[in-house]
Chain A
Amino acid sequence: MAEATVSKETSAKREGPKLPVLEREKLILNKRSYNWITERICGVVENPQPILWWMLFIPCSLIAAIGVGGGLFHLVSTGVGVWGNTNRAMWGWPIVNFVFWIGIGHAGTLISAILFLTRQNWRTSINRAAEAMTIFAVCCAGIFPAFHVGRVWMAWFLAPIPNPNAIWQNFKSPLLWDVFAVSTYFTISLIFWYLGMVPDLATIRDRATGKIRKLLYGVFSLGWRGSNRHWSHYEMAYLLLAALSTPLVLSVHSVVSFDFATSVVPGWHTTIFPPYFVAGAIFGGFAMVLTIMIPARYIYGLGDLITMKHVDNMAKIILLTGSIVGYAYLMELFMAFYGAAKYEMEAFKFRIAGPYNWAYFTMMACNVISPQVFWWKKCRENLWVVMAVCMCVNIGMWFERFVIIVTTLSRMWLPGDWKYYYPSAQDIMLFVGTIGMFLTLFLLFLRFLPCINIAEVKWTKEESDPHFEDKEEHVDDGVEVIPAYQLELENGEAKV
């Protein structure tokens, strides 16, 4: 008590130069209330969907049904030969798509885990959608390896369980590591996503009017009642999952890259692969998050929660990881040159000057050059530019995998294998189908589940701090607050 009065007196007397402190940028604009946040996010689930949702949902679900449903039916009933797997390069397409989708899935866990551990509070507005995207991307990815084994009904041979032939899975093989890494990643991401959603499902349950709705959200929200004794365990669980997912997210794409790096194939056998793949995955994942969140933000009027500050931060991450990827591309060339390995050098010459050089330069332009526009603030603030760059990155990252896999496999050790690669119609159909499936699942997610983490967004409000009202009573006059730059705010007020 005595101490408190002393500090109060000293703070009142404080004179002289003030400590300049940069203001924190606002993560929620227009001083929205708790109730407004609840209404707006639950409204996405509760109100009838806008016409644009139907305009996207109907074609996407048709593409998914024809591409994935019909494509897989055709594949299984006819045989995996419809993919044109007649030589080594021909199984490249499913692997390209597998690596592409797994890569997309990386941003979700990065946002939820790594940005959580580093206390980046801006993650709260985007983590739910990014995690959902992770789950759906891994679902799409899983189709390709499961079906490219040829006889999909034998896919259970991948699991480490005894089989009648008394042969065990080869635990020394990166392909089996992949099975473990991807399935663990999917499971942990699902747990993370679901646990994070429980309090928000309870919010929807408490607002539900229909009986079925109340029952379903009631079951999935597990009887959550916002109890602080629960929050205490819950926050610990969230922290533990974040700590577990952080190395996991880095491991998954490292393991995927081991599939290539542990082989003795020129162009693949390189130590730079794990970090190069991980940076590329985060790069591609963030681009996909922006690609789907910018339209969602616009359609559902979530601009006060997903602000230009969020877009700006993500654009900066894309710039950073894009530059790391660019460095990796150049370093790969340098190692081929400096390593004095004849075949390695030939492999890279083939990439740059061979018949696939159009793919190589598409990759370079999309992944290395296009994100460089984000050095300019004007470009990060223009949503059209951001969307254009993200689309380039989505395309570029697919071509990165195409370059790595197809150009290498089509010029392997045996000249008898050399052939220019064309995907079959079924190949293309299935890939387009997975894009449709991904978007369909995401649209259903927007329709049925809270697309922004309501509880965590509320937590980022200033008055959520239990000492907020004390701060108003004891104003710190020793600091001078410098207003932060924020696109949508002028003198602390929203521009409207």
Chain B
Amino acid sequence: MSTTVKRVYGYLAEFESASKLYKAAEKVRDAGFQKWDCHSSYPIHGLDDAMGIKRSVLPYFVFFGGLTGFLTAISLAYITQVEIYPTVVQGKPANIFTIPAFFPIMFELTVLFSGFTVLFGLLGLMQLPRLNHPLFASKQFARATDDGFFISIEARDPKFSAEGTKALLNEIGGANIELVEDEN
């Protein structure tokens, strides 16, 4: 007899197509669920509204990332070239009028810092990387990255109930409804 304790992660249901997933997502949203998700192998445009997800906040992070890059460039170039070690090369000035010569570097560092902010901001917002996830225990879930369309509703959601949620998924057209358990 195995004595492993298993914790219920939630329900996983499969849908036939992107259109059906979209309509089902609207119904789950309207039923008031919060901790649930749709899974598909490509981004379905419009599904954010159907799920009631707000626009990503990533651009705000990136704005400040870019600003940091810009200020880094201007201070790096100005302080070293004008303030601390003014070096006259090719008769070019070493004062405030030198700034136009720093434009390319200001641009490049703005882009560089913004790019890093996109990468790390995105990973932070997605809460990735994580190598395990309860959903990976499901056999059918491997098709989420191939041709499957899934909705998962977590047991953590206050609206979740073993019977009611299953009935809802059934009603909105979910197939292969599966109770996903997390080995703990």
Q: Which residues of A contact B (CB under 8 A)?
A: 33-35, 38, 160, 166-168, 170-174, 176-177, 180-181, 184, 187-188, 191, 195, 199, 202-203, 205-207, 218-219, 222-237, 240-241, 244-245, 247-248, 251, 255, 258, 454-456, 458-459, 463-470
On chain A, the residues within 8 Å of B143 by CB distance are: 206
Contact call B56/A171, Cβ cutoff below 8 A = no
Besides A38-B146, A234-B43, 4 other CB < 8 A contacts? A170-B87, A240-B118, A464-B18, A468-B18
Is B2 close to A, CB under 8 A? no
By beta carbon, the residue of chain B nearest A227 is B37
Q: How far is the CA of A231 from the CA of B37 in the complex (A)?
A: 11
Which residue of the partner chain, among A171, A195, A245, contacts B105 with CB atoms under 8 Å?
A171
On chain A, the residues within 8 Å of B147 by CB distance are: 33-35, 38
Q: Which residues of B contact A (CB under 8 A)?
A: 17-22, 25, 37-48, 50-51, 53, 55-56, 58-59, 62, 76-77, 80-81, 84-85, 87, 89-90, 92, 98, 101-102, 104-105, 107-109, 111-112, 114-116, 118-119, 121-123, 125-126, 128-133, 135-136, 141-147, 150
Contact call A167/B132, Cβ cutoff below 8 A = no
Q: With a 10 A CB-CB cut-off, give which of A174, A226, A465 has the most chain B CB atoms.
A: A226
12 pairs from A and B in contact (CB 8 Å cutoff): A34-B147, A38-B145, A167-B85, A171-B77, A173-B89, A227-B38, A232-B53, A240-B59, A244-B114, A244-B115, A456-B42, A470-B19
Chain B nearest Cβ from A237, distance in angstroms: 4
Contact call A230/B126, Cβ cutoff below 8 A = yes
Q: How far is the CA of A465 from the CA of B20 in the complex (A)?
A: 11
Q: How far is the CA of A177 from the CA of B105 in the complex (A)?
A: 6
Known: A223-B131, A224-B145, A228-B47. A34 touches B109 (CB 8 A): no
Contact call A180/B105, Cβ cutoff below 8 A = yes
By beta carbon, the residue of chain A nearest B123 is A222
Contact call B128/A224, Cβ cutoff below 8 A = yes
Q: With a 10 A CB-CB cut-off, give which of B19, B77, B90 has the most chain A CB atoms.
A: B19
Chain B nearest Cβ from A38, distance in angstroms: 5
By beta carbon, the residue of chain B nearest A228 is B38
Inter-chain contact count A-B, CB under 8 Å?
214
On chain A, the residues within 8 Å of B92 by CB distance are: 172
Contact call A226/B77, Cβ cutoff below 8 A = no
Q: How far is the CA of A223 from the CA of B144 in the complex (A)?
A: 13
Q: How far is the CA of A454 from the CA of B40 in the complex (A)?
A: 12
Contact call A195/B126, Cβ cutoff below 8 A = no
Contact call A241/B56, Cβ cutoff below 8 A = no
Contact call B77/A469, Cβ cutoff below 8 A = no
On chain B, the residues within 8 Å of A177 by CB distance are: 104-105, 108
Chain A nearest Cβ from B122, distance in angstroms: 4
